[in-house]
A and B are shown apart, each in its own frame.
Chain A
Amino acid sequence: MSANPVLTDTLALTCRDVTVSYGDKTAVAGVDLDLYAGEWLAVLGPNGAGKSTLLHTIAGLGKHTGTVTMPDGRAPSATDIAVMPQNPLLPEGMSVVEYVLLGRTAHLGWLARESQRDHRIVDSVLHRLGLADFAQREVVGLSGGEAQRVVVARSLAQQTSILALDEPTSALDLGHQVQVLELVDDLRRRDGLTVLAAMHDLTTAARFADRLLLMRHGKVVAIGSPEEVLQPEILSDVYETPLTVRKLDGEYVVLPAPRSARHPEDRPAGLP
């Protein structure tokens, strides 16, 4: 396991034979996965590969067969995994501090109200993420980057050991994408969080994740370090298009193969 750059060998979560079906369509087919405490595992794959479904199933948000268990044997709940949604719904008239306070939901009794402690946790999270000046702003008026930061704050207020990111940055421009991911990475390192992230961009995934999990048609095609998974042959096969992998300053960059390298019949007619 020396090639495996997992930070610890403590398990954070275990999946065995997890299968999700809608009618006769199988979205996730028999996935086995060990998630280690403190690692960033990126779930990759083309559209419809089952990334999001796997993520939500692990977070306990969908019907499935097989088992998902925390180290103590329980199924995970909202106090174990915080999900950062792809397109967060920002309600009208709700302030940032109130939105973040909703992250405390899982810690509240059924009829209970937020205690002083809940408010204190929210306050500290907002200060930590530099959102104190935003506290009373309405979430509706926030820019995409600010909103995603607020969603990170909400997830932190949830005080879980695992953060699940569902393509959290697909609506952001490149600069904000990197900012949000760096924020999450920073929090992971400081708080010892475990990050499970469905990601679209292979290069970004390779940069942030310790391990990559490549899916196709609901099955795991490859799992391992970026070096192990980012093989041009595997990727080209999974994404059904020729891809090349370059190493730039020690980091992996995945690119579409040069057009000259593709089959001539792929070229638009009339071009040299």
Chain B
Amino acid sequence: MTQQRDLDQAATKATSPVGSGSLALPELSATGSFRLRKRVVAICVTVLIAVILLSAASGAAGLPVAGVARSMLNLIPGVDLATSLDSRAEAVLFQIRLPRTILGVLVGAALGMAGASFQGVFRNPLADPYLLGVSAGAGFGAVLALGFGLDVGWGPVSAVPAAAFIGAVVAVMASVLVARGSWTSPATLLLSGVAVAALFSAAQTYALQKLDETRAREVLSWLFGRLATSGWEQVLLLLPYVIVCGGLLIMLRRHLDVMRLGDDEARALGLNPARSRFLIITAATLLTAAAVAVSGLIAFVGLVVPHLVRLLTSHSYRVIVPLSALVGGSFMALVDIGARTVVAPAELPVGIITAFVGAPFFALVLRRSRRGA
């Protein structure tokens, strides 16, 4: 112990270098990719607010953006601005537009954070939130719920989201069991995830085949991903997961940077990678399952958003995880504007547009960054 203390002293002593007296050393660690820059966060938050306003204003009955902003500011206690929206317009805003916009933001944030975390724990850039069978499990659950005519719902929870959530969690647990809970071997987990996903997909396809056409159509629209809301119900279902699980992922994001050195070195540095991986996968899975339960299978967001953030800012998960929440939210809300307006009055499944918009955009950013590198 005395030796430890001596070491401590030695390190502190070394802060004033030999021969330079009391001259302070230039600080080296003040900058770098670990740093979540305030300016970048401010830009992302501004974009998010702009997208929310735009999304709330656009739709079948166009609302003026300024009026939308004023009416929303009026929600803050103590603020009372004159708004150009009449009560009918405000009802549209607060009961239809805003819930849907906020749901989009939450789903995008959830998938963005979960995707970033999965890429971190698996040290695999191709990882996405659906990796361990979340999508296949949720799909199977939803098909079963609809197939058994459970889509009536009870209380605040309707059957499809509940079944999808349970299906997703069961599938991930199955993946972990197949991998014999080997939290130390991401490759094993990943492969067992592939196997379990294939199994659940097959079961889902089989069950889908047994449904009549109307129900099958409903299942398919769910599978494509949609942001359909009835008031604030879906938002309230998802919000606790985003706060608790998303909060945990943000708090543990430093661990992901240690794990970039590989499990052996992470352990030598004093991190327990198996425990961190268990916690992060659990949180990311619950987050993804909750998002999928309310919005169906929205493709590509969980994969593309973390990459976008990585290419534009930093390779550090300290930056990627929180920014993926902000960028994912903006991306999702933006895409949803398209889903609602492109073929109005009909609607496109938002999951199709995320892939349509996300893939070329991603390719472009990838090309640009490769050229720059």
Binary per-residue interface labels of chain B (1-36) against chain A in the complex, 1 for a CB within 8 Å, 0 otherwise: 101101110111011010000000111111111100
Q: 30 A-B pairs, CB-CB below 8 angstroms?
A: A37-B3, A82-B268, A83-B265, A88-B265, A89-B265, A94-B33, A94-B260, A94-B315, A94-B316, A95-B33, A97-B29, A102-B257, A102-B269, A105-B269, A122-B28, A122-B29, A123-B25, A124-B12, A125-B11, A135-B28, A135-B29, A136-B28, A136-B31, A158-B270, A159-B4, A160-B7, A161-B4, A161-B7, A190-B10, A192-B3
- Contact yes or no, A101 B33, CB < 8 A: no
Answer whether residue A78 sits at the interface, using C-beta atoms and an 8 A cutoff: yes
B window 119-152: CB within 8 A of A: none
Find chain A residues with CB under 8 A from B347 CB.
none
Is A119 within 8 A of B29, CB to CB? yes
Residue in A79, A91, A103, A125 whose beta carbon sits within 8 Å of that of B260 in the complex:
A91
Q: Is A247 an interface residue (CB 8 A)?
A: no
Contact call A124/B14, Cβ cutoff below 8 A: yes
The residue that B17 contacts in the complex, of A121, A127, A135, with Cβ under 8 A, is A127
What separation, in Å, do the CA atoms of A87 and B1 have in the docked complex? 31
List A residues 95-113 near B (Cβ within 8 Å): 95, 97-98, 101-103, 105-108, 111, 113
Q: Which residues of the other chain, B, contact A135 by a CB distance below 8 angstroms?
A: 28-29
Q: Residue A126 at the B interface, CB < 8 A?
A: yes
Contact between B25 and A127, CB atoms less than 8 A apart: yes
**In chain A, what residue has the closest Cβ to B33?**
A93
In the bound complex, residues from chain A placing their C-beta under 8 Å from that of B31 are 136
Determine whether B70 belongs to the interface, using a CB cutoff of 8 Å to chain A. Answer: no
* Count of chain A to chain B residue pairs whose CB atoms are closer than 8 Å in the complex: 123
B34 to A101, Cβ gap below 8 A?
Answer: yes
How many A residues have CB within 8 A of the partner chain? 48
Q: Which chain B residues in 167-195 approach chain A with CB under 8 Å? A: none
Contact B268 A83 (CB under 8 A): yes
With a 10 A CB-CB cut-off, give which of B31, B251, B268, B315 has the most chain A CB atoms: B268
Report if A123-B265 is in contact (Cβ < 8 Å); known contacts: A94-B315, A98-B33, A102-B257.
no
A202: min CB distance to chain B, Å: 26
List which A153-205 residues lie within 8 A (CB) of chain B.
158-161, 190-192
User: How many B residues touch A, CB cutoff 8 Å?
Assistant: 42
Cβ of B270 and Cβ of A77 under 8 Å apart?
yes
Give every chain A residue within 8 A of B10 (Cβ-Cβ). Answer: 190-191
Q: Assess whether A128 is interfacial by the CB under 8 Å rule.
A: yes
Is A120 in contact with chain B by the CB < 8 A criterion? yes
Q: Does A61 contact B (CB under 8 A)?
A: yes
Task: Tell me whether A92 is interfacial, beta carbon within 8 Å.
Answer: yes
Rounded to whole Å, the gap between the CB of B16 and the closest CB of chain A is 9
Question: Does A242 interact with chain B (Cβ within 8 Å)?
Answer: no
Question: How distant is the Cα of A107 from the Cα of B26 in the complex, in angstroms?
Answer: 24
Of the residues A91, A106, A123, A159, contact of B315 by C-beta under 8 Å: A91
**Measured CA separation A113–B30 after assembly (Å):** 14
Contact in complex: A128, B261 (CB < 8 Å): no
Q: Name the distance in Å between B359's Cβ and chain A's nearest Cβ.
A: 23
Task: Determine whether the beta carbon of B29 is less than 8 Å from that of A92.
Answer: no
Across the interface, B269 reaches (CB within 8 A) one of A95, A125, A158, A161, namely: A158
